[in-house]
Structures are given as C-alpha cells and as structure tokens.
C-alpha cells in the first residue's frame, strides 16, 4: 500500500554543502551530505508518497525558539567571512570557529560578541565540525520551513506529516549551533504547534545522538515534554556533555525531560523497550500533539553510531508511535548510511501508518 502521510520536501537543502568537518584539527569529508535527502526522497517516492513543497514561513517562527543573535550570525556569517577575505587568506572556504568563550574563561560573567569576524564564530558554534558555507543559511531556513509546513498539515487535520529536513536540527540550542545542525526545525515546529493549539506537546527524539538542543530549549517548560533515546554520552559519544538520565528538567519543567541513554551495541530489544518507555511518558504527561525528531543513525550499519537497530526495529518503533494516536509531525534528523537511509525512513513511516490503523481499530 502507498504511503499515505504527506512528505514535505524542500529542494533548497542542496544549497548546504558542508564541505567537510574539522575533526581534531583535520579536515575530513563531510558526513551530512546532500545525497542523504535525495536518497530519502527516492525511497519515499518509490513507496508512492505524496510530495508537498515546503512553504515559506515568517522569521517570527524561528525567533520564537532561537535568539536574534544566533539568527543574525548565521544569516550573515558567510557574507562576513567573504568580506573579511578569509577564503583567500588564510584560504578557508567555510566559516569555522577559532576561540570559545567558555564560562570558566570569564569566571561566569556573560561573554559578549567579539569584534573580529574570525572570533565571532566561537560565540555561537560549540564544535568545529559544523561548517557554514555560501548556502548553509538558506538551506537551514528552508528546513525550518519544511517542518513548519508539516506542522500546518497536521493542524489542518492530517493525522501525521513527515518533513524531509536537511540540514538536521536537534543539536541546536537557543543560542548555539553544532552537531551538523544550524536551526532546530523540530523545536520550531513544536513551538509553532504550542502557539496554535495551546495544549501540551511531546517531542520524542529517536536519533542515535541525544537531542541536546531540544532539551535545553524546553528544559524549564512543563508544557513541552522532551524525551530522547540515544547512545550513552557517558560511554564517550556526542554530544558528550549532555544526555544523561539525571537531566530531568528544571523549575516548572521538572519531570518533563526524559533521557534514556543506551550502551553502545544496544539492539532492537533494548532500543524498542526505551521507545515504549518514552511513549508511556507521553501518555502520562497528557500531550495531545507529538513531534518526532527522526534520526535513523541508530541503525546497525550507520557509520556514526554504535547502536544496532534493524530496519524491522525502526518499523516497530514507527508502529508504537503511530498507535499513540496523536497528531504527529515527524522531522528528519541524522542517518548517514547512504545505502540504507531511504529504506529506514520508509520502514519507520510505514510502521507509523500501521500503528495509526491499529489505534483506530
Ligand atoms: C544530527 C546528527 O546526527 N548529528 C550528529 C553529529 C555527531 N557528530 C559527532 C562526530 C564524532 C566524530 N566522528 C568522526 C568523523 C570523522 N570525519
Ligand atoms: Zn544523530
């Protein structure tokens, strides 16, 4: 049977060509490449999915989640880099960070944006691997539009919609970007849903890496439940500093963040039990809308994570989520095995539709 849920697509993702990653000071090939989204599109089109073009949404939707400083920096970073002559001298064709204003540098006093173009990046970027090129901003902004378009489809009555977002977004906080992400499209969609429905929203992150940006954005919010199943950062995995089980929310948001870190090597049984636990938390929280940052890098074949989830595991996770019966926006995050990524997303979405049918029966 053809995939019924709408697939929101955005051609402008191709404008972001990461051009590599600075890994331990060495420029290595980029992993978050344009062919990822093209592979997903091909697999979903092959499953008979209806493709919907992303529609432009106002900047206010982005600014409801991210600081004006981050948006201003990212939207002008490439132009400033070029104007400073940095592509010629020293010959760096991507915006990269250099110094970082860590809290210990200023004894906790707030840092300020430095004067030098080459120093400004470190005020916003928290890793060296997330490079900005000529089309990065336009692509990231268009990915946010794709997630917002999917949210609109759900607000208009679709049981679910999938946004083929690229670049991904779940590592971006209010002020800082990293982890191959520039704007947190899933969080932007969640906030958009909150603003229009008023009701509690749940964000369940299946990407193999902890959704640290989304966690931080909603950490003190009781109305947005954030949950994430991911490889244990305590075992040495990105984002390293966040994603531990004792991060449960703060203030009024205490109890509205759930991290389920898994040991490297975890497979379907352990991962699906964690997904089921996240779903129980959504039921308990009482959210009436769901956003799923859907990375498929937990797959056994993925080069960027040590989790060992199978395609059948992703299908089952989709089924469990669909059976929740909540209007759902699925947003693409990671997934780096180019040969597998399309089939993994397709299996998850097919499982999701099976789950919807079960919930109705
Ligand atoms: C959206 C998403 O899945 N972001 C994950 C980014 C994690 N990157 C961590 C990179 C760790 C080092 N990998 C070595 C690659 C050498 N090119
Ligand atoms: Zn990931």
352 CA → ligand 2 middle, Å: 20
Say if residues 225 and 281 touch (Cβ distance below 8 Å): yes
Rounded Cα–Cα distance for residues 343 and 296 (Å): 10
Query: ∠ at Cα 265 (228, 328), nearest 5°?
Result: 30
| Best probe residue, ligand 1, of 13, 28, 179 (max atoms within 8 Å of C-beta) | 179
The reported pLDDT for the residue numbered 154 is 98
> Angle at which helices 185-197 and 136-155 pack, to 10 degrees?
30
Query: Which ligand is nearest the CA of 178, by number?
Result: 1
> Angle at which helices 136-155 and 68-83 pack, to 10 degrees?
150
Per-residue pLDDT of the chain (361 residues; tens, 9 = 90+): 799 999 999 999 999 999 999 999 999 999 999 999 999 999 999 999 999 999 999 999 999 999 999 999 999 999 999 999 999 999 999 999 999 999 999 998 999 999 999 999 999 999 999 999 999 999 999 999 999 999 999 999 999 999 999 999 999 999 999 999 999 999 999 999 999 998 899 999 999 999 999 999 999 999 999 999 999 999 999 999 999 999 999 999 999 999 999 999 999 999 999 999 999 999 999 999 999 999 999 999 999 999 999 999 999 999 999 999 999 999 999 999 999 999 999 999 999 999 999 998 8
Residue with the smallest CA separation from ligand 1 atom 13 is 304
State CA 217 to chain mean position distance. Answer: 13
Residue with the smallest CA separation from ligand 1 atom 9 is 238
The reported pLDDT for the residue numbered 199 is 81
279 CA → ligand 1 middle, Å: 27
Residue 268's nearest CA partner among 312, 331, 212, 319 is 312
Say if residues 117 and 80 touch (Cβ distance below 8 Å): yes
Q: Residue 260 pairs with which residues in a beta bridge?
A: 229
The reported pLDDT for the residue numbered 102 is 94
142 CA → ligand 1 middle, Å: 22
What is the DSSP secondary structure assignment for residue 15, as one 8-state letter? Answer: G
Report pTM: 0.98
Catalytic residue set: 171
Distances (CA, A) of 137 to 119, 218, 318, 345, 356: 19, 24, 31, 25, 35
Question: SS3 of 307, please?
Answer: coil
């Amino acid at each position: 049977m053809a995939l019924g849920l709408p697939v929101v697509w955005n051609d402008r993702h191709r404008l972001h060509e990461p051009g590599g990653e600075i890994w331990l000071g060495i420029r290595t090939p980029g992993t978050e490449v344009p062919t990822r989204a093209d592979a997903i599109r091909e697999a979903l089109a092959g499953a008979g999915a209806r493709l919907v073009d992303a529609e432009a949404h106002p900047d206010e939707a982005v600014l409801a989640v991210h600081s004006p400083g981050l948006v201003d920096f990212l939207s002008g970073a490439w132009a400033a880099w070029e104007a400073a002559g940095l592509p010629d001298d020293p010959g760096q064709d991507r915006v990269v960070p250099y110094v970082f204003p860590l809290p210990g540098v200023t004894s906790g006093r707030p840092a300020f944006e430095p004067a030098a173009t080459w120093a400004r990046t470190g005020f916003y970027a928290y890793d060296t691997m997330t490079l900005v090129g000529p089309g990065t901003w336009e692509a990231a902004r268009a990915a946010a539009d794709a997630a917002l378009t999917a949210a609109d489809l759900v607000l208009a009555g679709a049981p679910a919609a999938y946004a083929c977002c690229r670049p991904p977004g779940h590592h971006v906080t209010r002020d800082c970007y990293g982890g191959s992400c520039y704007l947190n499209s899933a969080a932007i969609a969640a906030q958009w849903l909150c603003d229009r429905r008023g009701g509690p929203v749940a964000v369940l992150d299946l990407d193999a890496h902890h959704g640290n940006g989304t966690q931080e954005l909603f950490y003190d919010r009781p109305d947005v439940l954030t949950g994430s199943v991911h490889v244990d950062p305590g075992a040495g995995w990105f984002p390293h500093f966040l994603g531990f089980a004792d991060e449960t929310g703060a203030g009024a948001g205490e109890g509205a963040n759930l991290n389920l870190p898994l040991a490297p090597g975890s497979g379907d049984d352990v991962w699906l039990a964690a997904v089921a636990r996240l779903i129980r938390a959504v039921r308990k929280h009482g959210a009436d809308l769901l956003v799923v940052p859907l990375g498929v890098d937990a797959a056994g074949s993925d080069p960027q994570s040590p989790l060992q989830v199978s395609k059948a595991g992703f299908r089952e996770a989709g089924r469990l989520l669909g059976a929740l019966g909540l209007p759902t926006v699925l947003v693409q995050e990671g997934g780096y095995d180019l040969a597998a990524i399309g089939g993994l997303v397709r299996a998850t979405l097919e499982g999701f539709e099976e789950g919807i049918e079960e919930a109705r029966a």
